[in-house]
């Protein structure tokens, strides 16, 4: 249905300026089109990746000035000036994105605000280049040499550019790109463990946002033939932010609805320019308190369900694929082991792990146990790459992992679950599982498959359903994590880890906090993983559970290995009884 929606939008863009006689309305439509492009950029940045920017006016100004100066002062044709301005905007976005790698939350907002102020001050003071507050006059307009038809031509270019950007935004929101950005937004540590290079993604989305905002700036520069520094103040950044929130933060069609509402408010309050920031603040507060999902949330509630699904790009639940499509029948012969050689890790001089040696045999369940504070989770995090080891080596099969970042270890076959569950609350269960499959989903031609296919990820979704069925929770595919019991959420996270098709799986307290029936379910699931040839390293405090499913056990105490052997040997070891299990008479 999305194809028909896009065709209707294209027809509307083509026909609108031909049937509207008032040039003012064409001008407003132009402004809606290119402003929506800037709002889309901010929506992807903030709504998907969670990176706050109060400096979008700076990117807008960079695009506008770069294109205007090249076209006006140096005589560049617009077909060369505009693309070059986008390159300059992308460079600015890269620089700010690199700063964003070292800051989060409020500090990032302040850093981007500073960028916006720097660009505004430069545009005011660098008079020889920008014209300062007097501005640049005689900027070529995008009219293709026909002054009378110029407004119509400009609208067509801006309108069809917006449509192309909107289609791209829809693809991001309904594909692995959107899922990956939401994973980074919710938990960067989790994102690394499913193979995402978080710094590249964070910087890349900043560049994309900057380019889209710079593109909107170039349209602004070539709309009226005049620009000045007054147009690029903090008020513009706040207006773009308000448009995102009003429309619906993190919603694909939120930007265009938010832009329409914002411009309507601007036109209605034009005589109150001196208090515009107060008006914006009041609107923002009202929407956040009364309508947190924005205008698109209201549309979703009021529109018929079929049209709502078309606009919100809600996928249907696929049928489960045969399990052998996910795991090879010969997987057991491909099993690999994990070797930890003299690993040490300290925090502020306190040794959490001291010279830990651990050998996990291929295709086995190996438990790592010990009292609280023994260093078990530290060892798991060091293996996964979330913490760096002070010394020692880690080997997966014949590959040494010690110097590799977490995302590369995940790509080589390490998967893990977390003691504190790391599920993406804004995604249904099936999409959470798909996050584990990202490196196995074909990427070539993804956009075109999405555009022409009614279910472009049907193979991957079928495989994800097969994993849910394998774990006995296929009926939960369309539910959200918050609607599930704690035990079922544990199983969903296990399904996500299975979807990575790992060689070795690291399970951090998989049955903590769940009831006896759920413990049994997860125990059966882990035994099934062993049957598939997956090597499992397990951290757990439930000794009945550990003794029942483990092939081998290693015991830590104060960061030191105090015992290593099969369950019977460990259960009878005096050091283990004293440090962890308790005196034998008290446990029989």
Residue 535: helix, strand or coil by DSSP? Answer: strand
Q: Which two tokens stand for residue 265?
A: 């408010």
Residue 327: helix, strand or coil by DSSP? Answer: coil
Angle formed at CA 312 by CA 428 and CA 294, multiple of 5 degrees: 95
User: Mind listing the pLDDT tens digit for each residue in 452-474?
Assistant: 765 667 778 888 888 898 888 88
- Sheet (strand 350-360) strand order: 350-360, 338-347, 391-396, 399-400
Please, is 237 exposed, middle or buried when counting C-beta atoms within 10 Å of its C-beta (0-12, 13-18, 19+)?
buried
Structural domains of the chain in order of their starting residue, each with its CATH number? 2-233 (no CATH), 334-413+502-517+535-588 (3.40.50.300), 426-501 (no CATH)
User: Mind listing the pLDDT tens digit for each residue in 382-427?
Assistant: 999 998 888 999 999 889 998 899 999 999 989 999 888 889 888 8
Q: Which is more confidently placed, 80 or 575? A: 80
Spatial contact of 123 and 231, defined as CB atoms under 8 Å apart: no
Please, is 380 exposed, middle or buried when counting C-beta atoms within 10 Å of its C-beta (0-12, 13-18, 19+)?
buried
Judged against a pLDDT cut of 90, whether residue 175 lies above it is answered with no
Rounded mean pLDDT of 55-68?
95
Rounded mean pLDDT of 344-363?
86
Residue 13: the pLDDT is: 95
User: Mind listing the pLDDT tens digit for each residue in 480-522?
Assistant: 998 888 889 999 999 999 988 899 999 998 888 888 888 888 8
For 503, phi and psi rounded to 5 degrees?
A: -85, -40
Judged against a pLDDT cut of 90, whether residue 584 lies above it is answered with no
Angle between helices 56-73 and 78-100 (to 10 degrees): 150
**If you write DSSP's letter for every residue of 104-117 in order, what string do you get?**
-HHHHHHHHHHHHH
Q: pLDDT band at residue 336, thresholds of 50, 70 and 90? A: confident
Residue 492: helix, strand or coil by DSSP? Answer: helix
Residue 22: the pLDDT is: 87
Residue 306: the pLDDT is: 47
Residue 588: the pLDDT is: 36
Q: Which residues contact 414 (CB under 8 A, 6 or more apart)?
A: 193, 383, 384, 385, 396, 401, 502, 503, 504, 506
User: Mind listing the pLDDT tens digit for each residue in 32-55?
Assistant: 999 999 999 999 999 999 899 999
Residue 459: the pLDDT is: 77
Q: Which residues contact 578 (CB under 8 A, 6 or more apart)?
A: none
Q: Which residues contact 40 (CB under 8 A, 6 or more apart)?
A: 165, 166, 169, 212, 255
On average, the pLDDT of the chain sits at: 85
Q: pLDDT band at residue 332, thresholds of 50, 70 and 90? A: very low
Judged against a pLDDT cut of 70, whether residue 328 lies above it is answered with no
Residue 152: the pLDDT is: 93
Q: Which two tokens stand for residue 399?
A: 């590959």
User: Mind listing the pLDDT tens digit for each residue in 200-233?
Assistant: 999 999 999 999 999 999 999 999 889 998 889 8
């Amino acid at each position: 249905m999305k194809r028909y929606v896009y065709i209707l939008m294209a027809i509307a863009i083509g026909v609108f300026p031909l049937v509207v006689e008032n040039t003012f309305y064409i001008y407003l439509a132009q402004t809606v089109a290119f402003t929506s492009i800037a709002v889309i950029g901010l929506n992807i940045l903030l709504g998907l990746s969670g990176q706050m920017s109060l400096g979008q006016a700076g990117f807008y100004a960079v695009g506008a000035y770069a294109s205007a100066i090249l076209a006006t002062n140096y005589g560049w044709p617009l077909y060369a000036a505009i693309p070059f301005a986008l390159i300059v905007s992308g460079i600015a976005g890269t620089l700010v994105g690199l700063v964003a790698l070292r800051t989060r939350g409020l500090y990032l907002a302040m850093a981007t605000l500073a960028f916006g102020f720097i660009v505004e001050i430069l545009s005011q003071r660098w008079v020889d280049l920008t014209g300062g507050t007097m501005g640049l006059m005689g900027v070529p307009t995008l009219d293709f040499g026909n002054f009378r038809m110029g407004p119509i031509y400009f609208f067509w270019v801006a309108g069809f550019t917006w449509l192309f950007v909107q289609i791209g935004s829809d693809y991001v929101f309904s594909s692995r790109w959107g899922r990956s950005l939401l994973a980074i937004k919710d938990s960067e540590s989790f994102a690394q463990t499913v193979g995402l290079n978080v710094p590249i993604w964070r910087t890349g989305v900043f560049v994309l946002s900057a380019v889209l905002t710079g593109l909107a700036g170039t349209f602004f520069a070539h709309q009226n033939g005049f620009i000045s520094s007054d147009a690029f103040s903090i008020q513009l950044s706040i207006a773009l932010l308000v448009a995102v929130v009003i429309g619906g933060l993190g919603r694909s069609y939120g930007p265009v609805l938010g832009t329409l509402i914002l411009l309507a408010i601007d036109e209605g309050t034009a005589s109150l320019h001196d208090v515009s920031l107060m008006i914006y603040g009041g609107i923002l507060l009202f929407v956040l308190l009364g309508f947190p999902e924005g205008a698109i949330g209201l549309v979703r509630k009021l529109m018929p369900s079929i049209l709502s699904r078309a606009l919100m790009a809600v996928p249907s639940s696929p049928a489960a694929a045969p399990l052998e499509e996910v795991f090879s029948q010969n997987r057991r012969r491909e099993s690999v082991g994990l070797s930890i050689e003299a690993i040490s890790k300290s925090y502020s001089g306190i040794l959490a792990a001291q010279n830990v040696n651990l050998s996990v045999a291929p295709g086995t369940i190996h438990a790592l146990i010990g009292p609280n504070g023994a260093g078990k989770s530290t060892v798991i995090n060091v293996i996964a790459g979330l913490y760096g080891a002070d010394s020692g080596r880690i080997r997966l099969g014949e590959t040494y992992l010690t110097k590799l970042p977490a995302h590369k270890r995940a790509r080589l076959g390490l998967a893990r679950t977390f003691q504190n569950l790391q599920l993406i609350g804004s995604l249904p269960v099936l999409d959470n599982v798909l996050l584990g499959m990202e490196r196995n989903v074909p990427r070539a031609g993804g956009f075109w498959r999405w555009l022409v296919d009614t279910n472009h990820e049907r193979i991957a979704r079928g495989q994800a359903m097969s994993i849910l069925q394998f774990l006995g929770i296929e009926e939960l595919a369309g539910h959200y994590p918050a609607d599930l019991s704690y035990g079922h959420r544990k199983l969903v996270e296990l399904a996500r880890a299975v979807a990575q098709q790992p060689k070795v799986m690291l399970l951090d307290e998989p049955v903590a906090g769940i009831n006896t029936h759920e413990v049994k379910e997860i125990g059966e699931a882990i035994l099934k993983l062993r049957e598939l040839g997956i090597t499992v390293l397990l951290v757990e405090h439930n000794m009945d559970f550990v003794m029942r499913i483990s092939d081998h056990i290693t015991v830590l105490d104060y960061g030191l290995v105090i015992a290593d052997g099969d369950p019977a040997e460990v259960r009878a070891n005096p050091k283990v009884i004293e440090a962890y299990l308790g005196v034998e008479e008290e446990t029989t």
